Amino acid sequence: MKNVLIISSSLRPNSNSDALAEAFARGAAEAGNQVETISLKGKDIRFCKGCLACQQTQKCVIADDAPAIVQKMYGADVLVFATPIYYYELSGQLKTLLDRANPLYGTDYHFRDIYLLTSAAEDEEQTPAHAVTGLGGWIACFENARLAGSVFAGGVNGPGEVKGHTALTSAYEMGKNV
């Protein structure tokens, strides 16, 4: 059994990337894993100040919701990030959280496998490429971790449009195989 943490970064109700996260969670749970999903909706996550105090203390000096999420990231065996694609990149709120996860750098974090679930109005195959590269830059700082897989739902824009999309099945199957 693995401890799977899913972080969903869409701020929109009934979002397409949330649906991908739910499908992944269902598959992972059915496979016997412990699954927790955190939505960034309503969370107070401020920008990193770049002070690097966290590199000495492994704690962030900013008192908001990010440190509790980062602590959960530390203890997870598997991290899953779900994000809408905005301007061919990760959502700003996810990027801000990744920046705030700096206290994890240089620790004995548990996660090894990282997954990315994305959705976008564009449906070209290369649409998620910059988001994958952006997350890849973060993962490169954690030498024991790797991008284990990604799922992209293209051609979905409005809330709930992902219903019936083949990416939901792919996310579910990926979750079953963590």
Which amino acid type is present at position 141?
A: C
Residue 55 has which token pair?
């590199």
How does DSSP assign 112-164, residue by residue? -EEEEEEEES---TTTTHHHHHHHHHHHTT-TT-EEEEEEEEES--STTTTTT
Give the pLDDT confidence of 90-107 residue by residue, as tens digits: 999 999 999 999 999 999
Domains of the chain: 3-176 (3.40.50.360)
Whole-model pTM over 0.85:
yes
CB atoms within 10 A of CB 34: 14
How does DSSP assign 86-112, residue by residue? BTTB--HHHHHHHHHTGGGTTS-----
Question: If pLDDT is split at 50, 70 and 90, which confidence band does 161 have?
Answer: very high
CA 57 to chain centre: 25
